[in-house]
Amino acid sequence: MTTNERTVHDYMEGFRRADHARVLACLTDDVEWVVPGMFQARGQQDFENHIVDEGFRPNPDIAITRVIESGDVLVAEGRVRTERTDGAVVNLLFCDVFEMRDGRIAKLTSYLMMQP
């Protein structure tokens, strides 16, 4: 497993546990997170606000199904099962494109869709 892949797996584990410190340790200070059509976060403080978004419960079930890495770009595909605070269960498919710098996440673009 490469350094970048270890970072991404640690990042995902941080989300699974709603462990803000663990997630933030995987990021550069100037990190950017883009979820097209939903939001764009810049910097660790802004990023941290989205670790557990309003209306959602912490500790989602995240499964990575495929990882592709080329240089400092890593793509992870998978699924997320999470619960809203109203009790509704949300099943999503994701494709995350990580742009890495020195083994940390500098930019993340997350493509999400409801799982059929």
Q: Which residues pair with 101 in a beta bridge?
A: 104
What is the model's pLDDT at position 116? 76
Q: Which amino acid is at 21?
A: A
What is the model's pLDDT at position 68? 98
Indicate whether 28 pLDDT > 90: yes
Q: What is the pLDDT of residues 60-91, one digit of tens each?
A: 999 999 999 999 999 999 999 999 999 999 99
Q: What Rg do the C-alpha atoms of the chain give, in angstroms?
A: 13
Domains of the chain, start order: 3-114 (3.10.450.50)
Residue 60 contacts by C-beta under 8 Å, 6 or more apart in sequence? Answer: 15, 16, 80, 81, 82, 83
Q: Which two tokens stand for residue 24?
A: 């933030």
Q: Is 15:24 a contact under the CB 8 Å cutoff?
A: no
